[in-house]
Amino acid sequence: MNAETKICQNCKHDFVVEPEDFDFYKKIGMPPPTFCPRCRWQRRLMFRNERSLYFINCGLCKKKTISIYSPDSPFQIYDYNCWISDNWDRLPYGREYDFSRPFFEQFKELSKEIPHYATLILQSPGCETCALSWNSKNCYLSLVNTSEDCFYVHGFKLRNSLDVYWGLKLDFSYECVDCSDGNRVSFSQCADNCSFSSFIYDGRNLQNCLGCVGLRNKQYYIFNKPYSKEDYIKKAKEYDFGSYKTLSKFKEEFERMKMLYPRRFAHIIQSQNVTGNNIHESKNCRFCFDTGYGVENGKYLAIAGLNLKDSYDCYDVGTNSQLIYEGVDVGLDSSKVFFGSMVWTGLDVQYSKDCQNCSNVFGCVGLRNKKYCILNKQYSEGEYKKLLPRVIEHMNLTPYIDKMGNVYKYGEFFPSEISTFAYNETINQESFPLSEAEAKSKGFNWKAPELRNYSITKKAEDLPDHIKNIDNSILKEVIGCLHEQKCNEQCTQAFNIQSGELEFYKRMNVALPRLCPNCRHYQRITLRNPYKLWHRKCQCEGSAANGPSAVSSGRSNRKLQIAYRNTTPHFHGDSPCPNEFETSYAPERPETVYCEQCYNAEVI
């Protein structure tokens, strides 16, 4: 089929369904979507809560536990060990399909009545405060896999680290974003195979470097300037990050330093025929982000990897899976899972949530090891195959209509308004931040902030400047966050310092933070580019045009911006680079963005 332009029924903007999209929809037996990719993405994220945590009592064992559901939610909440146990049966919650009402109404009722798990803590002793933890130990308020002794981190194989977002194989690291294979790396972004280094941006294989941008295979550099080992040690001592004032000043200087160097249009490593950002070892993927290690033939994916094949429109999906469409947290040897949330080891699973090791189920919640179920009601194989086509036909004849007037037939993901979370409880606030008024105007649910009424015993501005002047008495203090809930970052207003956390700060000689963990998390999020692409031209204007006194360029219309002077000849000589690309750097941003060839000429 030819490409077809459609109008999103939600935002009313145009979007294009490409020929390869039609091929995919035909392959899985689905109609093309009626929502644009951005609205589909936002709708999926309504079903993922990572950071809004509450205390509740387990509905089964009555034990106090942390939950992603608030105490005033209408759901029965079980501790995960109770939820996964055989101490209760899911099938009695099943019901006959009612052909007089829309499917999504019936699914919402089932979802309200059946118990939900509080958090996902699997084989992770000492991780009870985490929303999601797998095979980890002693981690606090983190989302981790195979990690130990961490606080406020998000990553895989992390040890003794704090305040990390998207970290992989890091030890004793602090305030890192998109870093991997590092030891004692701090305040860094896109730093790979680095050690004993701080304030690194886009660095690889660096040792003992400070405040460096775009370096490869170096040691003893400060602000991209080489030093002898002796001079480096002497100079580095001038920057005492145990002092909050010194640390803050260095952060400002480093941010200015970063702006002096060109940015690579996208971080794409060992991949073929891909568009997006942070893509590793993948091929034939478009509009994909944080994707890698064997992903093939995908589109509109985020956090996807480990041999995912032939899949569209997913968030956090993969591990030897294929033919996944419109999914959130789907994978682990799954196939043909359409419109699912938290579906693992599934086969032919549609419109289902929190189902494990199930096959041929439709509209189910919380099932384990089941086959041939619709709305949690058990059928024989013959009965299931006879009833399912009737249900799909009914979804088209009697669609669900949300409060904004959007029509949901078979082939659309769950309506946002039936999510078990409010908009500001989900990770939508990270990718698509909205105010309360904006969210409600778009039909999203919103949860009023809890009245915390903390008795703040120490204001952030009253903390001692240097970590050496802070003793264990700080562990008893309730510290007021500098933001004082005047931000849109789920500020908790106040925070405590944990004993292991204080030990880390002292060991690493780093100043005590002045923001609560949530605000610190959002500060890291702002360092990353959005899940969005713009078509742009390379901004390399040739060696002659890139003088430091250049103020404006007629072609790129960059004004009052320091131009970068190339250090080596490029393939296009003194003429502007002709290359174009898809990038997550918006045109109005101040960074100078280079294509792969021009960037490599300067960095490699």
What pLDDT was estimated at residue 559? Answer: 41
179 located within any domain: yes
User: What would the pLDDT profile of 519-536 be if each residue is shown by its tens digit?
Assistant: 999 999 999 999 999 999
Paired sense of beta strands 580-583 and 272-280, if any: unpaired
Taking 50 as the threshold, does the pLDDT of residue 79 lie above it? Answer: yes
Look at 134-143, 213-222, 485-494 and tell me which has the smallest mean pLDDT. Answer: 485-494
562 inside domain: no
The answer on 377 and 293 residing in a single domain is yes
Work out the pLDDT band at 557, boundaries 50, 70, 90: very low
Residue 41 counted as domain residue: no
245 and 167 inside one domain: yes
Residue-level pLDDT at 562 = 57
Residue 452, pLDDT score: 76
pLDDT tens, residue by residue, 403-441: 999 999 999 999 999 999 999 999 999 999 999 999 999
Q: Which range marks the domain in which residue 250 is found?
A: 161-264
Residues 310 and 382 in one domain: yes
Kindly report, residue by residue over 19-49, the tens digit of the pLDDT: 999 999 999 999 999 999 999 999 999 999 9
Per cent of the chain over pLDDT 90 is 92
Q: Give yes or no: residues 307 and 276 share one domain.
A: yes
Position 542 confidence tier, pLDDT thresholds 50, 70, 90: confident
Domain match, 294 and 256 both: no
Which of 220, 241, 264 marks a domain boundary?
264
Residue 68 within any structural domain of the chain? no
Write down the pLDDT at residue 490. Answer: 85
Question: Using 50, 70 and 90 to split pLDDT, how confident is the model at 555?
Answer: very low
User: What integer pLDDT is reported at residue 552 of this predicted model?
Assistant: 36
Given 493, 525, 557, the domain boundary residue is 525
Tell me whether residue 4 is in a domain: no
Q: Percentage helix, strand, coil, to 5, in the chain?
A: 20, 35, 45
Identify the pLDDT of residue 383: 98
Give, rounded to a whole angstrom, the gap between the first and last alpha carbons of the chain.
43
Asked whether residue 273 falls in the same domain as residue 252, the answer is no
Mean pLDDT calculated for residue range 379-383: 98
Assess whether 251 and 310 both reside in one domain: no
Question: DSSP states of 201-264 as a string?
Answer: EEEEEEEEEEEEES-EEEEEEETTEE--HHHHHHHHTT--TTBHHHHHHHHHHHHHHHTTSPEE
pLDDT in tens, 199-236: 999 999 999 999 999 999 999 999 999 999 999 999 99
Q: Are 534 and 583 in contact (CB under 8 A)?
A: yes
Task: Report, as an integer, the average pLDDT of 100-128.
Answer: 97
| Long-range interactions of 83-90: CB distance < 8 A, separation 24+ | 83/115, 83/116, 83/117, 83/118, 83/366, 84/117, 84/368, 87/60, 88/60, 88/115, 90/114, 90/365, 90/366, 90/367, 90/368, 90/370, 90/376
Contact indicator for 477, 455 with CB cutoff of 8 Å: no
Query: Are 238 and 272 within one domain?
Result: no
In the chain, the number of structural domains is 3
- Residues 316 and 392 placed together within one structural domain of the fold: yes
Do 379 and 493 fall within a single domain? no
* DSSP state at residue 572: T
> Considering the chain, what percentage of its residues have pLDDT values greater than 70?
97
Whether 483 and 504 map to the same domain: the answer is: yes
- Is residue 125 situated within a structural domain? no
> What average pLDDT does the structure give for the chain?
94
Whether 211 and 273 map to the same domain: the answer is no
Per-residue confidence at 553, pLDDT binned at 50, 70, 90? very low
Q: How confident is the model at residue 549 (pLDDT cuts 50, 70, 90)?
A: very low
Q: Of all helices (H) and strands (E), which one includes residue 503?
A: helix 499-508
Residues pairing with 291 in the sheet = 279, 304
Q: Where is the domain boundary, 479, 499, 525?
A: 525
Classify residue 380: in a domain, yes or no.
yes
Is residue 516 situated within a structural domain? yes
